[in-house]
Amino acid sequence: MLVGKHAPDFRMLTTKDANTLDHQAALADYRGRWLVLFFYPADFTFVCPTEVLAFNAATTAFGERNAELLGVSTDSVHAHVAWMEFHIGNLDFPLASDQTHDVSRAYSVLDDNGQAARALFLIDPQGVVRYEVVHDDRVGRSVDEVLRVLTALQSPSRTFAQFAESAAA
């Protein structure tokens, strides 16, 4: 389990610059902001496009919470670009390629077939994992639930005594 620990570092090629495909994302790029790091099995699959498009539709809501999105699969950046060009359209966040499987292994989400599991990590502005979840490949994630958890993690924590005091007032 990674919750409460520093997130494993990474460096991966992304689709951020679709013209050159030479942009590399690193964990350090997200310091000072929350990172919604989500893994998915593969481009051109059944569940993945609905999730990726749902995350894309919520980029403004994530931005309002000082959070950025980074989608990761073990497919190449060329496959990501083809998927966007021929199937899902342009995205407002990058997709990263973990062809080496190093990042999927570091986050313990690599399956026996060499694909990333359907997993999600919320990483705080200091680089600490605050939330992780892995879903069955057949079950998509709820973006609303991710936003709810992110909002809760960003809320100031209150003790039970503080909560009882405010409820009594």
List, as one string, the DSSP characters of 48-68: HHHHHHHHHHTHHHHHHTTEE
Q: What is the CA radius of gyration of the chain?
A: 17
Residue with tokens 């359907």: 118
Active-site entry in 27, 36, 48, 146: 48
Angle at 108 between CA 77 and CA 48, to 5 degrees: 45
Q: Which residues contact 83 (CB under 8 A, 6 or more apart)?
A: 43, 44, 49, 75
- Reading the block at residue 169, the tokens are 């007032």
The question of whether 48 is a catalytic residue gets the answer yes
- Rounded Cα distance between 131 and 73, Å, is 19
- The residues carrying an active-site annotation are 48
